[in-house]
A and B are shown apart, each in its own frame.
Chain A
């Protein structure tokens, strides 16, 4: 069975600084990987997804993520954070015979002005 670990419960950055949110997965074959964002009072919105091919994936809102098989990681990055990026971020992994992706516990991003 697949699993996802998001090691950081909270991350605090200053507006304009770069951001990296960590995600480690456990899965035997090539995984399907997703990043979602949840703003307060809303549902989860898909930021980007990795299925195969180029290991650097571009998403919406200026986010990107890099798949590193050797490290079983799929970290989310943004070069310059905006105050509106303050939200909860979820990493998810799918694949094999499972019907739905497995979600991590989430990382709460706090942005200081």
Chain B
């Protein structure tokens, strides 16, 4: 099976712009989670989708949003970008979306804000 695919791998934006990141989960996986990773804050949970519904949300402002399509592919959007949004954004998928199942991660999208 192909792994989790995230596109693009690298992205450079300026403050105030918006950005959309894409994640294709492993075939058959219905849960997709998003994480922000920075050197100072570590790995922080953004949100989780299962069967097109957001089930879990982390403590991030409303500028961060996401959605999941019927084929389980997911996108996350960040509007009005700030310098502090520079980070590695990781997507992970799992089969049934239960915490007793391991998550499978993509290689991430490196977002840099100028």
Contact = CB atoms under 8 A, between A and B. Distances in A.
Contacts of A32: 99-100
A100 B45 contact: yes
B43 A103 contact: yes
Contacts of B99: 32, 94-96, 98-102
Contact of A43 (B4, B45, B56): B4
Contacts of A103: 43, 45
B107 interface: yes
Contacts of A41: 107
Contacts of B104: 46
Contacts of A100: 31, 33, 45, 48, 56, 94, 97, 99, 103
B contact face: mostly helix, strand, loop, or mixed: strand
A99 B48 contact: yes
Interface residues of B, number: 25
Nearest to A42: B107
A98 B101 CA distance: 11
Given A43-B90, A100-B48, A105 B42 contact: yes
A92 B112 CA distance: 28
A45 interface: yes
B102 interface: yes
Contacts of B4: 43
Nearest to B106: A43
A49 to B, nearest CB: 6
Nearest to B42: A105
Contacts of B101: 94
Interface in B87-114: 90, 92, 94, 97-108
Interface of B: 4, 31, 33, 42-43, 45, 48, 50, 55-56, 90, 92, 94, 97-108
